[in-house]
Amino acid sequence: MRYNDFKIVEAMLGSVTDDKYLPAVNQLLKDPNHRFAVGKSGERGMLIPDPGQQVNSRKDKITGYMLQPGEQEQQLGAADIQNLKQQDATQLQAEFQRMGPSALMQIVDANIPELSQQAQQSLQAKKVSVLVSVLFKSDDMKTGIGGNISAKETFAVKPSDIFADERFPAPQVFNEVINNPVLQKQEIGKVIIGMAQQIKAGDDPQFKNIPEEFKPAVRDYAGEYLGVLALIGETANFTTRDQWLEHLGVKDINSIFINFPQQSNFALGDSIGSFENAETGNMILISSKGGKMGAPPSLNSLKIPKNLLGSKRYAAEVGFVETMQGASAVQQPFLGINKLHEVAPDSINETISSILPLSNKDIAELESFMDRKYTKNDWQQLPEKYHPLVRLVDKTFARFSETATPGGLIHYIITKDIVNAVNSRNALPQFESMGREILQKNFIQIFARPKGAILGFDILWPNVEMATGNVKLYSKASANDPKKAKMSFSVTD
């Protein structure tokens, strides 16, 4: 008997709003030893907050002193402070300028007349204020709100937690989960084992009655392999199952081998694994999502096959996707809107169309206005031709973060217009069809979704002939950080 490979690895998703963190921030402000990481991933350094502060809004500012990335808090001994007394005023000033805020605070606290006053002046020169909205959402904050994001990360229930790099036939996967020693040692693991047993018996797994703190981890992490069990056991909602198996060239899914590697090496970045026909080489990547849509994969992972590169039917769509894939996150909307201006000018907002096409000089100029020295209220410093674009968001301008930049606003406005042009204004009539044709060759998606009392599993196989799968352009563009996120595509049922 020939077997086929079905490989599973982990995927991560989830988001929360900043407002939920305010009580946690206030609680941490009471701890004199707490340091706040600053930036989306803490890349800007650590904030030592002044004592006695409280915040009521994400727009509030916390005052204090910054430790630069990689900078350690310097601890001074009594001898170090006494040695400073031997230096003259010029040497002392240079030494204080070199010192970090922690060392200066220790000198101030030492209350030595000939040192403390000058140290206090140097310390004041280093004073900063940081918006609550730009603090890194640390585990301390997540724990402080009692949030599920932090909780689900504490459970060892991901595929990489419970499986080693090994292969076994599909029917054995049930036993590999039910008898897994990692799961057996945890209360949440016992719940997951029970759900696997229910699927093996041909039932939908119960979800409503499990502890609330377990639900996010079960849905988003255990759901990845529970969904595979539901696929194997035929309890999942998979209306095109027979056609999918025929596409793969297999008659019985139970004849495959399952492999759970520790890391993903698939081109489609959010894939959790693959089903591979070892005889033909045909491979289907599998993505697992919690909820309606989950985290959309990057547009860069939508690889254009050779047979479509010269296709007249998809010429405009292929040209657009290749343009976007070849651009940086900053340049994507500017080059993308230029491409739409070339192939579908009537699909673009008239106000935006009036400034097109953007030259390389225009793009460089807009990028310069993304500098952090600017805030959203500096938008009038933009060249006048961009002012009508900013006025397009007059009604929602107050919702933009104070740290949004003028260049970031234009980036955001153009990005949103590209998404609307493609998804709603028929700019690329064959975009969805092209996406289905690409994805049907090597992709299915498993959705783990609470449905009343159960955790249900819906499986989607995008297919151009059957017109299954809604493939849309997607963006999480931010006027605050336009250099971070590239455009994505979503696949929903």
275-312, pLDDT tens digit by residue?
666 566 566 666 766 655 556 777 887 888 888 888 89
Residues forming a β-bridge with 447? 289, 458
Backbone angles phi and psi of 58, in degrees to 5: -70, -15
Tokens 């455009």 appear where? 487
Percentage of residues of the chain with pLDDT beyond 90: 38
- Half-sphere exposure of residue 246, counting CA atoms within 13 Å on the CB side? 5
**Residue 2 pLDDT:** 37
DSSP state of 383: -
- First-to-final CA distance of the chain: 35
**Residue 139 pLDDT:** 60
The angle at the Cα of 44, spanning 41 to 49, to the nearest 5 degrees, equals: 105
C-alpha to C-alpha distance for 263 and 411, rounded to whole angstroms:
34
Residue in 268, 274, 295, 282 with CA at minimum distance from that of residue 228: 274
Tokens 């140097």 appear where? 122
**Residue 78 pLDDT:** 63
Q: Which of 145-149, 252-256, 268-272 has the highest mean pLDDT?
A: 252-256
* 17-31, 318-332, 340-354, 414-428: segment of lowest average pLDDT: 17-31
- Cα pseudo-dihedral 236, 239, 240, 242, rounded to 10: 70
The angle at the Cα of 17, spanning 10 to 135, to the nearest 5 degrees, equals: 90
Handedness of CA 29, 34, 38, 41 (dihedral sign): negative
